[in-house]
Amino acid sequence: MTNQSRILSIDIMRGFTLLLMLFVNDLNMNVAPAFMGHTDADFDGMGLADWVFPGFLFIAGMSIPFAITNRISKGLTQTDNIKHILYRTVSLIVIGILMLNTSRVDPELTGISKNLWALLMYFAVFLVWNNYRSKDEKPFTVTGFRLAGVGLLIILIFKFKSGQPENDGSLITGWWGILGLIGWGYLAAALTYILCRNSLLLTALAAALFLGLNILASLGLSTFLDPARPLLGVIIDGNVPFIVISGTFVGLMLKNSAGTGNKTLIRNLVISGVLSLAAGFLLREWFILSKIKATPSWGLVCTGISILVFTIIYVISDVFGKTGWAEFFMPAGENSLTTYLVPNILYHLIWMGGLPVFFYKQSQILPIVIGGSIIWAILMVWLSAFLKRLGISLKL
């Protein structure tokens, strides 16, 4: 394995976590077993859904050293990389906020239904951020599409009214939405890599810094930072950056492992995963495992699980070269943003049309409920792969 070779296990794990995310997001938890869903905020424990998102955050962090190194090899300067990081961060945050507010649309005040507002918003997002194949041959046409998307987003934002007192009925940032959280975590981890480069020690110290912030926030000892919390709360509270930077640390372990042999790398991965789990269960004495409260114990346990899951996938796919088992969901890892958004678009189309597509959700028979959500998740992965062949694929 060389520094420049592609680590298939990263794409596979990204696809795996996305497939699980689509599955748990679609489940009818009134019928499905409790261990598949989220636990309540004050419950000390975790369900499958409580690991899926931090698993994706972790793998997003793992990709950063390889992505930035690849851009540097193409001649991009540090200034170019920072501009790209900021552009990608802002893009994720903007889309995340727009998605967060789709459920707040007041049809009477806004003048259009929730479903139509959401569909127009997603259409505009694809106009702006689509990876156009003809961008070099037809730059003016592509620029026109992007400007049309920006114009549509501006219209939708000005038309938006929630009818709620919060923020005078306008868009709210709230908890930033899933993509917004990813954006903030990516910003912290990418800038950490820019500053620390290939230093495992400095990257570990950065992760420890954000873990410390997470502990302080959970103890209520960071209230002096409250003035900055409305904007920088995700950074100040530490949990999301800790998980993403932990992924960056493991990515560096892979990137720096050329010449050390797979046995040494696998041993170090297993040790890191076990230590993270042990630290999480140790902190459980003071902080419950809670995704909703974003406790440090939960962050450590999720990180430990992610490291060990990745290690298993790495051994199977990159050491033994067995990748056929993952072919049906690998497209999700290669086309992650499109795969995440496509189901939301279909949800709004189906709801607006009143189509009886989600009949399986109404069933009280467990295999039908679970089987239906599994099929839905797989179909969404395949649909995003099909759209990519048609030239419809988001790239930030």
Tens digit of each residue's pLDDT, the chain (396 residues) = 333 456 889 999 999 999 999 999 999 989 999 999 999 989 999 999 999 999 999 999 999 999 999 999 998 899 999 999 999 999 999 999 999 999 999 999 999 999 999 999 999 999 999 999 888 889 999 999 999 999 999 999 999 999 998 888 999 999 999 999 999 999 999 999 999 989 999 999 999 999 999 999 999 999 999 999 999 999 999 999 999 999 999 999 999 887 677 889 999 999 999 999 999 999 999 999 999 999 999 999 999 999 999 999 999 999 999 989 988 888 888 889 999 999 999 999 999 998 888 999 999 999 999 999 999 999 999 999 999 999 999 998
Integer CA distances (angstroms), 202 to 5, 215, 353, in order: 24, 20, 53
Query: Total structural domains in the chain?
Result: 1
Positive/negative CA dihedral, 11, 197, 253, 21: negative
CB 258, CB 303: distance < 8 Å: no
| Residue 190 included in any domain | yes
1 occurs within a structural domain:
no
What is the sign, positive or negative, of the torsion defined by CA atoms of 302, 307, 310, 305? negative
Classify burial at 154, counting beta carbons within 10 Å of its beta carbon; exposed 0-12, middle 13-18, buried 19 or more.
Answer: exposed
Q: Look at residue 27 in the predicted model and tell me its pLDDT.
A: 93
- The angle that helices 139-159 and 114-129 make with each other, rounded to 10 degrees, is 150
Answer whether residue 2 is part of any domain: no
Is residue 396, in this structure, part of any structural domain at all?
Answer: no
Q: What's residue 332's pLDDT?
A: 86
Six-digit token string for 44? 């000390």
The one-letter amino acid code at 305 reads: I
Is 395 within a domain? no
Of 185, 182, 174, 156, residue with least CA distance to 97? 174
Closest alpha carbon to 206 in 237, 240, 249, 236: 249
Give me the pLDDT at residue 209, please: 97
**The pTM of the whole model exceeds 0.85:** yes
Residue numbers of the domain that contains 92: 8-389
Residue 103 lies in a domain: yes
Q: What pLDDT score was predicted for residue 259?
A: 67
49 occurs within a structural domain = yes
Look at residue 257 in the predicted model and tell me its pLDDT: 83
